[in-house]
């Protein structure tokens, strides 16, 4: 009986320390948060800024230290960064973009991980029949746009389009997911879709040039590689074609319009989740993925003018100009 009692006590201690590891490993209310951002572009930068500001607002600037690392769009570097965070035993990892989330999930099963700018967690983490809660040490926020509505934008803004080129990075799982949904929606409307896949920034110019030459309109999902070279995509088009973008940053570089979220607000929501975890007010294992509550129709005046889209008509439909 005495041995059983000791064994029970030891098991209880193990469970307590495991729970503490998933909540926080801070000392004296001071926290170190590792941020792995895939690449520099407007959307991811805004999400990181919102995340940091939320934690400062919730915990106090003096109580949180950020270790911000940018992978420069190198997927392998994401794993190096998150492995380093794990070896440092940071209190929490924020993974900004899908490859960063995948790397963090491979690096640690103990340190809390929050993703942001991730479209579909079930796809990203290969979870079958995803229910909305990852479980374990992972949760976060999703930038999933209303894809059906984005498909409708294409037929509304370019009603004469018979062919639509779907331009995206084949290495980004969530881009593949979005393209599959958009393709299905458009094909149901009798529109022919063709996929144009690039692997990285080195071949995007050639692929974008081909897509513009062969189609009446183009679509680019929320794709990090495309976002990092959106202006190059537009410049590569010998014949400028109307392009619907998955988010505002891409639209600013190469699109006529988008139905987009605020990535700053998305990052801020992620930061509020992080504060709850670090303070011990929430268990990450039971935290459901949160989604952006609002979407805004926006247009790019410069590119609309270049392809002959009537911006006054867009404003009558509720579109707002993207700030230059």
pLDDT, position 199: 86
Q: Alpha helix locations (H) across the chain?
A: 2-23, 42-59, 75-88, 98-107, 121-124, 147-157, 173-188, 204-214, 224-228, 230-236, 248-254, 263-278, 301-307, 311-316
| Domain locations along the chain | 27-143+263-291, 147-260+296-321
pLDDT, position 6: 44
Domain 147-260+296-321 is of which CATH architecture? 3-Layer(aba) Sandwich (3.40)
pLDDT, position 200: 80
pLDDT, position 315: 97
Residue 321 pLDDT class (50, 70, 90 cuts): very high
Q: How far apart are CA 195 and CA 197, in angstroms?
A: 6
Residue 64 pLDDT class (50, 70, 90 cuts): very high
Q: How far apart are CA 219 and CA 164, in angstroms?
A: 7
- Asked if residue 309 has pLDDT above 70, the reply is yes
- Asked if residue 5 has pLDDT above 60, the reply is no
Average pLDDT, the chain: 91
Mean pLDDT of 132-140: 97
User: Phi, psi (5° rounding) for residue 170?
Assistant: -65, -20
- Measured between alpha carbons, how far is residue 14 from residues 43, 284, 285 in Å? 41, 18, 17
Dihedral of CA atoms 124, 181, 273, 19 in degrees, nearest 10, equals -40
CB distance 220 to 233 below 8 Å: yes
Q: Do domains 27-143+263-291 and 147-260+296-321 have the same CATH topology?
A: yes
- Asked if residue 217 has pLDDT above 70, the reply is yes
Mean pLDDT of 136-163: 96
Percent of the chain residues past pLDDT 70, beyond the cut: 91
- Asked if residue 134 has pLDDT above 50, the reply is yes
Cβ-in-10-Å burial (0-12, 13-18, 19+) of 294 comes to exposed
Dihedral of CA atoms 243, 212, 224, 55 in degrees, nearest 10, equals -20
Least confident of 18-27, 122-131, 215-224, 298-307: 18-27
Protein fold of 27-143+263-291: Rossmann fold (3.40.50)
Question: For tokens 């149901």, what's the residue?
Answer: 188
pLDDT digits (tens, 9 = 90+) for 219-255: 999 999 999 999 999 999 999 999 999 999 999 999 9
pLDDT, position 59: 97
Q: How many residues does the chain have?
A: 324
- Asked if residue 149 has pLDDT above 80, the reply is yes
Cβ-in-10-Å burial (0-12, 13-18, 19+) of 114 comes to buried
User: Phi, psi (5° rounding) for residue 238?
Assistant: -65, -40
pLDDT digits (tens, 9 = 90+) for 70-104: 999 999 999 999 999 999 999 999 999 999 999 99
Residues 6+ apart with CB under 8 A from 113: 92, 93, 94, 95, 101, 104, 105, 137, 138, 139, 140, 284
pLDDT digits (tens, 9 = 90+) for 250-306: 999 999 999 989 999 999 999 999 999 999 999 999 999 999 888 999 999 999 999
User: Phi, psi (5° rounding) for residue 237?
Assistant: -75, 110
pLDDT, position 28: 63
pLDDT, position 202: 86
Q: How far apart are CA 226 and CA 16, in angstroms?
A: 45
């Amino acid at each position: 009986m005495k041995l059983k009692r000791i064994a029970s006590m030891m098991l209880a201690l193990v469970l307590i320390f495991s729970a503490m590891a998933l909540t926080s490993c801070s000392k004296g209310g001071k926290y170190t948060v590792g941020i792995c951002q895939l690449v520099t572009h407007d959307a991811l930068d805004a999400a990181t800024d919102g995340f940091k500001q939320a934690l400062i607002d919730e915990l106090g600037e003096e109580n949180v230290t950020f270790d911000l690392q940018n992978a420069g769009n190198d997927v392998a570097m994401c794993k190096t960064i998150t492995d380093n965070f794990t070896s440092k035993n940071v209190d929490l990892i924020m993974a900004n973009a899908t490859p960063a989330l995948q790397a963090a999930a491979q690096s640690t099963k103990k340190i809390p991980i929050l993703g942001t700018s991730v479209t579909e967690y079930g796809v990203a983490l290969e979870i079958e029949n995803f229910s909305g809660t990852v479980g374990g040490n992972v949760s976060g926020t999703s930038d999933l746009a209303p894809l059906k509505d984005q498909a409708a934008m294409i037929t509304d803004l370019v009603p004469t389009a018979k062919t639509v080129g779907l331009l995206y990075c084949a290495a980004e799982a969530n881009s593949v997911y979005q393209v599959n949904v958009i393709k299905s929606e458009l094909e149901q409307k009798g529109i022919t879709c063709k996929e144009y896949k690039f692997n990285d920034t080195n071949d995007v110019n050639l692929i974008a040039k081909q897509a513009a030459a062969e189609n009446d309109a183009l679509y680019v999902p929320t794709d990090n590689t495309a976002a990092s070279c959106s202006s190059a995509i537009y410049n590569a088009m010998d014949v400028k074609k109307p392009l619907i973008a998955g988010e505002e940053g891409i639209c600013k570089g190469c699109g006529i319009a988008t139905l987009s979220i605020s990535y700053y607000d998305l990052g801020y929501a992620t930061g509020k989740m992080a504060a709850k975890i670090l303070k011990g007010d929430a268990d990450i294992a039971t935290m459901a993925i949160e989604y952006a509550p609002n979407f805004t129709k926006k247009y790019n005046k410069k590119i609309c003018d270049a392809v002959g889209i009537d911006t006054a008509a867009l404003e009558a439909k509720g579109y707002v100009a993207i700030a230059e």
